[in-house]
Structures are given as C-alpha cells and as structure tokens.
Amino acid sequence: MKKLIETLKNIWKIQELRKRILYTLGLILVYRFGKYVVIPGVNATIMQSAINQAQGKDLLGLINNFTGGAFSSASVFALGIMPYITASIIVQLLGFAVPYFQRLQQHEGESGRKKLNQITRLLTVAITLVQGGGYLTLVKNMGAVDPNIAPGLFWFSGIIILSSGTIFAMWLGEKITDRGIGNGISMLIMIGIIANIPSALLFEFSSRVEAGGALLFVLELALFFLVIVATILIVQGVRKIPIQFAKRMVGRGNINMPVSGNRDYIPLKVNAAGVMPIIFAQAIMFLPATIAGWLSNNDSSIMASGFMQQLTNPFSFLSSVFAFLLVVVFTFVYTALIVNPKQYSEYLKRQNAFIPGVKPGKDTADFIDEITTRVTLPGSIFLGLITIIPAIAFAFGVSQRFAHYFGGTSLLILVAVVLDTLQQIESYLLMRKYDGLVKSGRIKGRSGSGMQIGASM
C-alpha cells in the first residue's frame, strides 16, 4: 500500500504525465456529460422505460451496455463510437480483398495509414447515417417522439445530431490517444461500462445492510477481488515460443560474460480471442428470442414459454450452460483469426528464424498450432467460466445489478484497458527515470563526487 502511494506520488510529480491524466479525465467527463443531452423531440423517460422493460435481455441491451446507457436515454451519443469501430474493422477486412486497400496497408507506410484513417472516418459518417435512421425508427416505434414536432424536421435534425455525436465521440477518443493516456476509443467504451459500478455497489451495500448482512457484503467484495485477480492472470498469461535468428555469424566472443536471458520469442496469449467469443455468444443467444419476437409479432405466448424465458435470461441455468459451451467453441474460432500458425511459420522462414529443434515450414506450423491449442483450451474454459460467474453469483444471492460486474465482458474489458493504461504509465516512468538520471548527473547507488569531463560525454 505504501508503495502504491509512492508510485502515485511519482506519477503526480511528473508534469507531462499529470497533464495527460487530467486531460483524459476532462475529456471523459465531457463524454459522460453528453449522455445526458437528449435528442430534441424525444421523450427520454418513455424510451428508457421501454428499454428497461427488456432488462438488457436482448441485443439492444448489449449495445446499450457498450454506449454506457446513452442508447437507452436517447442521448446525442446514442450510437456511441460503435460506427467508428465498425468502420475500422471493415477497412481492415477490405485489405484482404481489395487491391487498393492492400496497397495502402502494405506499401505506403505512414502516408498510407493516414489515408486509411481518412477513409475510416468517412465510412464512419456513412454508417452513422444508416444506423441513425434505424435508431430513430426504433425511437419512433416506441412512441417516445414528441407529437408536436414536424416529422421532416425530426428526421433531419435527428440524423445529423446522432452522426455528429458519434464523430465528436470519435474525436474525443482520438484526442485521448494523442494527448492523453491509454487508447482513447477503448477508454470511452470502458467508461461506459463501469459508469454504473458505484451505484451498483451502493445499491448492494444498502440492501445488504438493510438485511443485516454487512459481513456478507465484505465476503462478496473479497470474492469480487479474487475474480479480478484471476482475470488479470488470464489476460496477461503468455506462452513464449523461443525463436533464434540465423542472420548473423557470431565469432568467438567473450565466454566468461554472463548470458542474457532476453532471447527472442513469439508470445502466444492464453486469451488471444479477448472478449469476442463472449459478446458473440451473447448476441447469438438473443437471436432465437429476437426472431421469435418478429415471427409471432409480439405474441406473448412464445415469449412466455419457459424455454425462451430461460434462454434470454442470462442468470438462468439453461442460459449459462449454453453460454459456456458457445464461448468455449467460439474461442477457438476467434483465436484462429488472431494466431495463424501457417502465416507465422511462413514469416519465420522469410526472416530466417527458427524454433530450435523444429524444422522450418510445415513442422513449424504444426508445432505452433499444437501449442496454440494447448494454451487456448484452458483459456477457453476460463473464458466460459468468466461468462457465467455473474449467474453463479446471482444464484448465491448477489443482486443482479452488482452480479453483472462479476464477470463477462465488463470485467474483461475493464481489466484489459486498465492494464494497458498502467503499462503506458510505467513506460513513461521508465523514460522519466533515465531522463532524470542523465540530468541529475548522478548514477543510482553511487554518491561519490564524480569527476566530470564536461561535454566530452
């Protein structure tokens, strides 16, 4: 604890770091504030109650989660930065298929990247126009639109406002990346997700205390802490495959030198697929209910059937089993997207690099594939567990609101973003340490009045 305070003090002492952190906090505040600015002509209360009725048990609830509630409150940020993310991924995928994008990605370096960024932004605008239309239709269907407003004006202003909201959010994200700390886009997503933690915590606390179970609350917190620790371990878990480069001929060097432990390696992550399997599994599970909803035209008999009820309720037993299985399977699929053994082995060959004892080419690909499978299996099981921990916690009596944070996407995203940001801060501290040492004219651990030969160093 003392060390933590010391570190925090250090961070605060560094002017640039302090500035960056304050800047980030400022922009996040702006983003959060935007959540409360409602699109003109929309009655947010009606909207909110309509969506809350679904209790986050459909796709919209999922989206609402990632926009930090802006979606359900009909805010100007209702679309969030999702369209930007959609655009980024589409542009990346285009690189596999379209020669023009391939050239920008492969040959043109920095200027190509700039051009791609520009295209991504334009695509974002296009996507917001489509999604904005969809969103306004939804709002209208829910009957949340002020009847006094002219339809033409509502559509026109609504789309422009939603589009600008997304572009503004994107700008905030980019500014945070540039001049703040951490990755701005991820930061904004994370903020949206954790925004409700304090109130959930408070709610849990007050309801526990009311029921006279303060000790239980402490126990819950301890459990929460353990889950976080486990998640951190999994997020950081890496299997290093040693690599050696056959690019240099080493002469008979100095044998009595201590050997460095910094060998070259490829890091294979235990959880390479990140949160993708969980989110996709959840989306898939909402699918039957959504389709059924359309087919039956809101006929409550299908919706009310026990099976559907169970499936759409993330806290039910059936839903948990399904989710677990889906996540395990999906993890392997998404891992294949990120770790491509054939590509790796080809790359290693082109770089004249080897895994010691493994022949280049097919053998290397098989070897990497085997190790990937070996580390992905426990990773996928853990990911499955993380998905259903909220349900388990709920079964043990934790309130739904709070149980939500015990696992699933929220926790993973929170941990990933916080870890990344901390690492960036650490990197700053490291640079700063050397700058400080160079300037102070002294080296750690030695206080002797060093003789200086001035500029000759």
Query: In the bound complex, what is the minimum distance in angstroms from residue 397's beta carbon to other proteins?
Result: 30
Q: Does 105 bind other proteins (CB under 8 A)?
A: yes
Position 311, amino acid:
L
Q: Residue 436: what are its φ and ψ, rounded to 5°?
A: -60, -45
Measure CA of the first residue to CA of the last residue in the chain; give whole Å: 40
Q: Which residue's CB is nearer to other proteins, number 41 or number 68?
A: 68
Residues 42-61, mask of contacts with other proteins (x by CB under 8 A): -----------------x--
Q: For residues 276-295, which are near other proteins according to CB under 8 A?
A: 276, 279-280, 283
Stretch that binds other proteins, among 46-54, 293-301, 400-408, 444-452 (CB under 8 A): 444-452
Q: Does 357 bind other proteins (CB under 8 A)?
A: yes
Q: Which residue's CB is nearer to other proteins, number 54 or number 392?
A: 54
Q: Which residue's CB is nearer to other proteins, number 42 or number 326?
A: 326
Q: Which residue's CB is nearer to other proteins, number 145 or number 416?
A: 416
Q: Which residue's CB is nearer to other proteins, number 161 or number 188?
A: 188
Query: In the bound complex, what is the minimum distance in angstroms from residue 322's beta carbon to other proteins?
Result: 17
Q: For residues 366-425, which are near other proteins according to CB under 8 A?
A: 369, 409, 412-413, 416-417, 419-421, 423-424
According to CB under 8 A, which one of 117, 347, 370, 378 is a site residue for other proteins?
347
Q: For residues 200-259, which are near other proteins according to CB under 8 A?
A: 235, 238, 243-254, 257-258
Query: In the bound complex, what is the minimum distance in angstroms from residue 343's beta carbon to other proteins?
Result: 7
According to CB under 8 A, which one of 164, 340, 399, 400 is a site residue for other proteins?
340
Angle between helices 408-440 and 184-194 (to 10 degrees): 130
Residues 157-186, mask of contacts with other proteins (x by CB under 8 A): -------------------------xx-xx
Query: In the bound complex, what is the minimum distance in angstroms from residue 165's beta carbon to other proteins?
Result: 17
Query: In the bound complex, what is the minimum distance in angstroms from residue 98's beta carbon to other proteins?
Result: 9
According to CB under 8 A, which one of 108, 178, 299, 370 is a site residue for other proteins?
108
Q: Which residue's CB is nearer to other proteins, number 44 or number 369?
A: 369
Q: Which residue's CB is nearer to other proteins, number 341 or number 384?
A: 341
Q: For residues 317-336, which are near other proteins according to CB under 8 A?
A: 330, 332-336
Position 277, amino acid:
P
Q: Does 35 bind other proteins (CB under 8 A)?
A: no
Q: Which residue's CB is nearer to other proteins, number 157 or number 340?
A: 340
Stretch that binds other proteins, among 44-52, 82-90, 158-166, 389-397 (CB under 8 A): 82-90
Give the count of residues interacting with other proteins (CB under 8 A): 126
According to CB under 8 A, which one of 353, 383, 393, 398 is a site residue for other proteins?
353
Q: Does 97 bind other proteins (CB under 8 A)?
A: no
According to CB under 8 A, which one of 68, 274, 314, 379 is a site residue for other proteins?
274
Task: Please give the structure tokens belonging to residue 285.
Answer: 């599970």
- How far apart are alpha carbons 161 and 155 in whole angstroms? 10
Nearest Cα to 204, choosing from 407, 32, 404? 404
According to CB under 8 A, which one of 38, 70, 85, 123 is a site residue for other proteins?
85
Residue 147 CA: distances (Å) to CA of 37, 143, 156, 276: 20, 9, 16, 41
Residue 290 CA: distances (Å) to CA of 145, 283, 325: 24, 10, 21
**Length of the chain (residues):** 457
Q: Does 134 bind other proteins (CB under 8 A)?
A: no
Q: Which residue's CB is nearer to other proteins, number 306 or number 448?
A: 448
